[in-house]
């Protein structure tokens, strides 16, 4: 096996599932519209700017506007697949994602890789014309 390919595979981080959790303070009206403010790990609202703080203060003054949910903490959890990454022979970290028929290209040097991190020929050197299939 070529040394550059071995180096690429040594730096490969396999794709993996990521789970995220976010807690928000919510104010929701009858139509399902309203205000949601992200909270920190101590469940305190994060006021990233003066507009968010003003909206929060206004909502707290008018609980009658939010009959479905008023000043309620809501925690949501979701997952997503983080793609595999590897290091190109030029040193660039690349995400092994399906950019073009199961292949991806290094932004720095233009080298192409398959989704397993193997170096491959650029698509213009492939024998088949995949565009004709579609």
Cα 72 from Cα 35, distance rounded (Å): 11
Give the model's pLDDT for residue 15: 87
Give the model's pLDDT for residue 134: 55
pTM over 0.75: no
DSSP secondary structure code for residue 133 in this structure: G
Which residues, 6+ apart, have CB-to-CB distance to 3 below 8 Å?
none
Residue 6 to residues 13, 115, 130, Cα–Cα distance (Å): 14, 15, 29
| DSSP-derived pairing of the beta strands 85-87 and 34-38 | unpaired
Residue closest to 72 by CA, chosen among 35, 107, 26, 12: 26
Give the model's pLDDT for residue 3: 55
Give me the average pLDDT of each 10-residue run along the chain (134 residues). 51 88 96 95 96 96 95 96 91 93 94 92 82 60
């Amino acid at each position: 096996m070529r040394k550059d390919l071995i180096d690429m595979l040594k730096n490969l981080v396999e794709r993996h599932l990521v789970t995220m959790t976010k807690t928000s303070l919510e104010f929701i009206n009858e139509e399902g519209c309203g205000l949601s403010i992200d909270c920190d790990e101590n469940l305190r609202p994060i006021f990233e700017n003066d507009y968010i703080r003003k909206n929060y203060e206004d909502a707290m003054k008018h609980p009658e506007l939010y009959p479905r949910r008023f000043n309620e903490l809501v925690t949501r959890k979701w997952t997503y697949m983080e793609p595999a990454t590897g290091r190109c022979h030029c040193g660039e970290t690349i995400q092994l994602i399906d950019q073009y028929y199961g292949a991806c290209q290094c932004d720095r040097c233009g080298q192409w890789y398959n989704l397993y991190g193997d170096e491959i020929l650029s698509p213009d050197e492939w024998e088949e014309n995949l565009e004709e299939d579609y």
